[in-house]
Copies of this chain bind each other. A is one copy, B any other.
Amino acid sequence: MAKDKKMVTAITSMNEDFAQWYTDICKKAELVEYTSVKGCMVIRPYGYAIWENIQHILDGMFKETGHENVCMPMFIPESLLQKEKDHVEGFAPEVAWVTHGGSEKLEDRLCVRPTSETLFCEHYANIIHSYRDLPKLYNQWVSVVRWEKTTRPFLRSREFLWQEGHTIHATAEEAIIETEKMLNIYAQFCEESLAMPVVKGKKTESDKFAGAVSTYAIEALMHDGKALQAGTSHYFGDGFAKAFGIEYTDKENKHVFPHQTSWGVTTRLIGAVIMTHGDDNGLVLPPAVAPVQAVIIPIAQHKEGVLDKAGELLERLKKAGLRVKLDDSENSPGWKFAEYEMKGVPLRIEIGPKDIEAGQCVIASRWNGEKVSVSLDELESAVQQKLQEAHDGMYKKALENMDNRTYSCTTLDEIITALAENGDGFIKAMWCGEEACEDEVKEKTGVGSRCIPFMQEKISGTCVCCGKPAKHMVYWGKAY
């Protein structure tokens, strides 16, 4: 069994080489596979099933809050992309250009969408005329392309899957409420479905989305102490409306520019799950998005009655609405244990002749390795309870990890010392609001501003860098 286990779990240890550990999990848990297109990957069935679960839950939350799905073209004419000055400056350097359709050379080059603000604006200009047409609360689930130089599965790839919400409102106030609402939905999703704590806040001016008035983000802390931006929500004011000529007639018959937002999360969330919960045995999946929530492994399955009983448990748990799998393959139990550990299946249910005789089974929890015997009479409720415990335990552990790696500092020297002594993590420190100080903090300590959190604390009265009066408490960190 020890040997079997080693064959499957031959992954680099997290402490030895974190980047290689991450890549090993992506490959060995069969989440992705590389292709001959640099920076583009195949998302394999097990990886895609995680995305489908994320999509299903989030889509439900979007629809609950009145959003509708649409589908825009994947191409943006160069002339359309250029309409909003800041936006095109931000994106033009990293888009893929289609220059030929069949054998015909295109007059206006088309880029493959890196994001779809311009397409939504063109559409809004067509369909919005009166205050009665507002708001429009649209979203789409598509892939986008950004020509990144260095790429890593889920974290940074040339093509990635995401959802992009694009809404348009009669007033600035409504649009700002929407921007904040969607950030809260993202944070709620991360906590309730990914068991991942996040910090909610506002990006500094230098870190805003191209064309936005303000950008909000949720930031999570990974096992290696680096920060990962897990979702963003942007308020655009009426800048895009003016650039694209979107106007409506209000109740007093005046022509007014509406106000817009956009917000998105990507397959990067899968990377965040790996680096928040994974360990040296592989992936550890939160129950809400795990493709298989419990795997049943028969012990001594050739013995009479074992497979029948295992099949019975499968049916019972399926009927209870759980995602369950029975592995009755010829592989040894040890091999199976290691495989489903690698794949991060939250619960393993073992059932063998002795268990059957005693009217019980063994439930092993992936997240903490705990094994308990459970009466078969209480199977459904025990499994549901163990899944809930797994979620709660994973969240608590991740929160403790984040708290333990968050350091309050009042000087640049304190930041340097904190990072040197403890390794990477979040730094909480005050800031005067000047970009020059933001740059200097990064240059001297290596950490950049992640966000100005909504939950402000007063670490000190002065900027960590220049010593002038502080305006905000900022989370700083190294970012993915």
A residues contacting B by CB (< 8 A) are 33, 35-37, 40-45, 48-49, 51-52, 68-77, 80, 93-104, 110, 112, 119, 122-123, 126-127, 138, 142-143, 145, 147, 158-159, 161
Nearest-Cβ distance from residue A292 to partner chain B, whole angstroms: 12
Of listed A43, A70, A161, residue having the most chain B CB within 10 A:
A70
Query: What's the Cα separation between A93 and B100 when bound, in Å?
Result: 11
The answer on a CB contact under 8 Å between B45 and A77 is no
A127 CA to B51 CA in the complex, in Å? 21
Q: Given contacts A37-B75, A97-B101, list 11 more A-B pairs with CB under 8 A.
A: A33-B123, A36-B80, A37-B76, A41-B73, A42-B119, A43-B70, A45-B70, A48-B69, A74-B112, A75-B159, A102-B147
The distance in angstroms between the C-alpha atoms of A41 and B42, with both chains bound, is 27
Assess the A97–B98 pair: CB atoms within 8 A: yes
Chain B residues near A72 (CB, 8 Å)? 35, 42
A42: chain B residues within 8 A (beta carbon) = 70-73, 119, 123
29 interchain pairs (CB within 8 A)?
Answer: A33-B127, A35-B72, A35-B122, A36-B77, A36-B80, A37-B73, A37-B75, A40-B75, A42-B70, A42-B71, A42-B72, A42-B73, A48-B69, A49-B68, A73-B159, A74-B112, A74-B159, A75-B96, A75-B159, A93-B102, A94-B102, A96-B98, A96-B101, A96-B110, A97-B99, A97-B100, A98-B98, A99-B99, A101-B158
- Contact with A70, one of B40, B44, B103 (Cβ below 8 angstroms): B44
Complex CA–CA separation, A72 to B143 (angstroms):
11
- By the criterion CB–CB under 8 Å, are A98 and B71 in contact? no
Residues in B with CB closer than 8 Å to A126 are 33
Return chain B residues, CB-CB under 8 Å to A102: 93-95, 147
CA distance in complex: A116, B143 (Å): 16
Contact of A145 among B40, B74, B93 (CB under 8 A): B74
Closest B residue to A149 by beta carbon equals B102
Nearest CB in chain B: distance from A66 CB, A: 11
Q: List, in ascending order, chain B residues with CB within 8 A of A95's CB.
A: 101-102
Residues in B whose Cβ lies below 8 Å from that of A110: 37, 96
Q: Establish whether residues A101 and B147, one from each chain, have CB atoms under 8 Å apart when the complex forms.
A: yes
A436–B142 alpha-carbon span in the complex (Å): 45
Across the two chains, which residue of chain B brings its CB closest to A30?
B127
Closest 3 CB pairs of A and B: A40-B73, A45-B68, A101-B147
| Residue of B whose beta carbon sits closest to that of A46 | B68
User: How far apart sit A444 and B81, CA to CA, in the bound complex (Å)?
Assistant: 49
State how many angstroms separate the Cβ of A375 from the closest Cβ of chain B.
Answer: 32
Closest B residue to A123 by CB, please name it. B42
A94 partner residues in chain B, CB cutoff 8 A = 102
The minimal Cβ–Cβ distance linking A75 to chain B, given in whole angstroms, is: 5
Q: How far is the CA of A49 from the CA of B74 in the complex (A)?
A: 19
> Do B119 and A73 touch across chains, with their CB atoms under 8 A apart?
no
CA distance A69 to B365 in the complex (A): 27
Given contacts A98-B98, A98-B112, contact A48 B74 (CB under 8 A): no
Interfacial chain B residues near A44, Cβ < 8 Å = 70
Contact, CB under 8 Å: A100 / B103: no
Q: What CA separation (Å) do A39 and B97 show in the bound complex? A: 18
Is A93 a contact of B98 with CB atoms below 8 Å? no
CB distance from A95 to the nearest CB of B (A): 7
Query: Which of B45, B49, B77, B143 has a CB less than 8 Å from the CB of A37?
Result: B77
A74 to chain B, nearest CB (A): 6
Tell me which residues across on chain B come within 8 A of A138, comparing CB atoms.
45
Alpha-carbon distance between A147 and B145 when the two chains are bound, in angstroms: 20
Which B residues are CB-close (under 8 A) to A101?
95-97, 147, 158
Complex alpha-carbon distance, A96 and B103, angstroms? 9
Chain B residue at minimal CB-CB distance from A144: B74
**Cβ–Cβ < 8 Å partners of A99 in chain B:** 97-100
What CA separation (Å) do A77 and B80 show in the bound complex?
27
A70 touches B98 (CB 8 A): no
- Chain B residue contacts of A73, Cβ below 8 A: 35, 37, 40-42, 159
Taken together as a complex, chains A and B put the C-alpha atoms of A139 and B56 apart, in Å, by 18
Closest CB-CB distance, A348 to chain B, in whole Å?
22
Q: Contacts A97-B99, A119-B35 hold; do A43 and B68 have CB atoms under 8 A apart?
A: no
Bound together, the chains give a CA A72 to CA B74 distance in angstroms of 16
CB of A138, distance to nearest CB on chain B (Å): 7
